[in-house]
Amino acid sequence: MQEVIRMSSPKSGKIQAVHLQRRAYVYIRQSTTAQVIDNKESTVRQYALAERAIDMGWQRDAIEIIDEDLGRSGATTEGRTGFSRLAEGVAQGMAGAIFALEVSRLARSSQDWQRLLALCAVAQVVVCDENAIYDPQNCDDKLLLDLKGTMSEVELHWLSLRMAGARQSLARRGALRFPPSTGYLWGERGLELDPDEAVRHAIATIFERFAIEPSQGAVLRWARKAEYLIPTRRSFADGTSTLTWDTLCSSRLNEIIHNPIYAGAYAYGRRSEKKTLVRGEIRTIRQVKAPNDWLVLIKDAHPGYISWEVFMSNQEKMAHCAGRTWAPGAPREGRALLSGILICGRCGRRFRTAYQGRGEGWTYVCSGDRDRGALPCWTVRGQAIDAAVEDLFLRMVIPSELDITLAVEREAEAQAASLHQQWKLRLEKAEYEARRAERRYKAIDPENRVVARTLESEWEACLRELESVKARYEDARREHRVQLTDQDRARIRALARDLPAVWRAPTTQPEDRKAMLRIAIECVAIRPIDAPERLTHIRVQWRSGAVDELTAPRSRARAASNAVIERIRKLAGLALHDEIIAERLNAESLLTGARRPWDGQSVKRIRLKHAIPRIAAIKPSIARVPDRHPDGRYSVNGIAKRFGVSEMVVYRWIRDGIVSGVREAFATYKSVWWFDIDDAAARRLEQASAGTRGTGKRKLESTD
């Protein structure tokens, strides 16, 4: 048996030979980077624990210092690789002692602390701080360590309460400083507008466009088309800042629209955090609170880009576009005019739109309580309802010719001026950068060639950027009409005089018509009328508060006549396929119930509805086009096989004019490509196929 040798040190009889035969771990941690930088004495004291371990009998090479958790909080083990390495050393029996300045350095969570103590008790590891040695196997020492761990966790809670209280006290006075959003800088009087005119103009343009466009996506499309750039200013603790320009993205637009700082409001506590279970794991989620629930809200605290009323209107608009509230949502593609604003007069729910075919026809569907197992409420075709509401809108909305002409012209000029100002500022900035690069180059000693070459390349880059901005500005003036001409103004006046002409113009998109309609109409409610005739009752709610009521015819789904059904039954009895039956019916000038020509699917629906059996055998699969025509010409798949490429490559060759052929009917196919490949064409295709294979090989090599 191994003899247990106890140390004769008067400081402690708890350290035994079994401890000295293992490693001593010195754990060093401070909660933040600022503490590491400012509180250097604490760091020195923690590193000095290695000397304490040597005094207790450990060899210097048996002491391992774990300091990779410097700058990390002890509230959790997440991200603390040093603590994980320490626990692993204890669990594997490699540790004999753990040295820490105090218990809070190891863990400020009772759960993590108790788990570590349990491991130390089983593995016979002592815990040493600056003043004492504790044996977790000893009941009294374990009780003392438990108390210290609990006090450490409670201390962290007290610290967080004091810090949160201090922050809230400063925030209530508007004195708590946080990184300012782009467009603002901290000054002597608090938040002030950015002194850079280009930055201020860019931020203001965002709110101007959001007020004009129907949705967030429309603003993003405008920004991409107009080559709009959004600035980002990052401020640092030393008072310096950097400014970068980039394309506008959805997340950045969301950040700007939802930020109350741009409305001149000082806000604090807009979000809250709570823990929840996600797939069996504890996650921390952040929730956005309503303005009434914010901890601090000081309106008119600093100059704003918009008013508070406009800010709240923008929040409502964003919620509507996102579909988080009952709202029409943003106008979208599709010919259905009333999508999003149509309400069921029976149950009060909103209709959804279902398109048939390629969008030529559409149906409004009210599902009612279908999600709860009930039957759908009702369905109606949309063309007649849309036509009735459209006619009412064009008759009722007759604005003053002078007013609308002036308003449209002012809006067009404002947009043109905004774009012109944006490009002007970009030109000024590019010219300034070029002049500064030129001054730096001319100020350097020509003999210092290394620096001179670097500054010369920077000057040339600035000059290229200046020329690029000038070229893009000229393109924008031509394509986006940055400056209005007399012809533009005359065309605007002509369009403003005739709203129906603008409405029915082929260049007016469906989403534009929906946007115009929603300016005047808040919602439309419909309900069915079955007697004395089938009609749809339409109730139009105008935004002014007025209400108009009208009706529209409601078509009845027509069924196929008995004669047509019997004809289908007879033809099916002759073992004909549905497609052949459809051809026979069309040849006999027979139409479906909807007065349309027959096809295979419509015949199949009639057969299934009236239980007409199919006697015809299953059609054999269509034979593949052969590689060669009987006269020797090649097909697409024949060329692909001969030159070792895919059929998609052959179609690209056809599109690029590398190979030419003719299309003609073949067997059951209506149109098939056939190619004459002579020697010249074969050499040309060999070169093209070699280039294609080389490109593919290079792509694979770059992927590897």
User: Which residues belong to the active site?
Assistant: 31
Angle ∠(407,225,419) on CA atoms, nearest 5: 50
Beta-bridge partner residues of 548: 540
Nearest Cα to Cα of residue 390 among 509, 496, 504, 497: 504
How far is CA 645 from its chain centroid? 38
Closest C-alpha among 475, 455, 478, 456 to residue 467: 475
Q: Which amino acid is at 282?
A: I
For residues 268 and 171, is the Cβ–Cβ distance under 8 A? yes
Q: How many contiguous H segments (helices) and E segments (strands) does the chain have?
A: 24, 22
Closest CA to 565 of 592, 531, 533: 592
3 state DSSP class of 347: coil
Q: Given 3-state DSSP classes, what are the helix, strand and coil percentages for the chain, each rounded to the nearest 5?
A: 50, 15, 35
> Which runs of E-coded beta strand occur in 93-171?
95-99, 126-128, 133-134
SS3 state of residue 29:
coil
Q: Say if residues 268 and 176 touch (Cβ distance below 8 Å).
A: yes
Q: Residue 538: is it exposed, middle or buried by C-beta count within 10 angstroms (0-12/13-18/19+)?
A: buried
Nearest 10 degrees: CA dihedral of 582, 586, 589, 594? 70
Tokens standing for 107?
A: 């863990």
Which of 368, 364, 376, 317 shows the shortest CA–CA distance to 338?
364
CA 150, CA 160: separation in Å to the nearest integer?
Answer: 16
DSSP state of 506: T
| Tokens read off for 147 | 């108390």
